[in-house]
């Protein structure tokens, strides 16, 4: 069993409802009693700014699926909520689920990079991740708290009631 952290993001349709639905769908992948969700944040889009703001969060859970099987399962959830895979990078989407960490595994292949290749510089990942695991140390030895110092929460706000 491995502790995983998954980033959730959406900015099309009803992003809040889609994030909540995805959080519920993660229950089927998590070992009972291990699923936890960060507060949700609104953030500016990464890339083209002519799109709506994103709703972002992070979920953590213990999982028995191998990394690529987990990736397949997350992509199935994305598709179930209307995700269309396009060539446009960082474009708008109904749902985006990314594996941030899979235990201490370091992996790079044609389908998957672990830890997630961009997580160290993305405030919309780091701040929700810190809400769940403030003392986290990445497999490379860098403390999450160090990354927060160099990555300000520009334009990010915690949603009310979070």
The residues that are catalytic are 83, 93, 96, 98
**Which residue from 100, 17, 101 is spatially nearest to 55, judged by alpha carbons?**
17
CA distances from 80 to 10, 15, 40, 75, 120 (A): 14, 14, 21, 9, 29
CA distances from 16 to 56, 71, 140, 159 (A): 9, 22, 33, 10
Residues facing 108 on adjacent strands: 113
């Amino acid at each position: 069993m491995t502790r995983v952290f998954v980033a959730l993001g959406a900015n099309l349709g009803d992003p809040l409802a889609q994030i909540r639905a995805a959080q519920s769908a993660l229950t089927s992948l998590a070992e009972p009693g291990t699923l936890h969700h960060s507060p949700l944040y609104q953030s500016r889009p990464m890339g083209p700014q002519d799109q709506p703001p994103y709703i972002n969060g992070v979920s953590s859970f213990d999982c028995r699926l191998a990394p690529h099987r987990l990736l397949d399962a997350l992509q199935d959830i994305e598709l179930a909520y209307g995700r269309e895979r396009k060539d446009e990078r960082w474009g708008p989407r109904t749902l985006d689920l990314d594996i941030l960490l899979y235990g201490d595994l370091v992996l790079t292949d044609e389908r998957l990079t672990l830890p997630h290749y961009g997580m160290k510089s993305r405030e919309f990942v780091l701040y929700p991740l810190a809400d769940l695991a403030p003392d986290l140390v990445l497999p490379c030895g860098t403390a999450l708290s160090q990354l927060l110092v160099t990555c300000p929460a520009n334009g990010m706000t915690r949603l009310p009631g979070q």
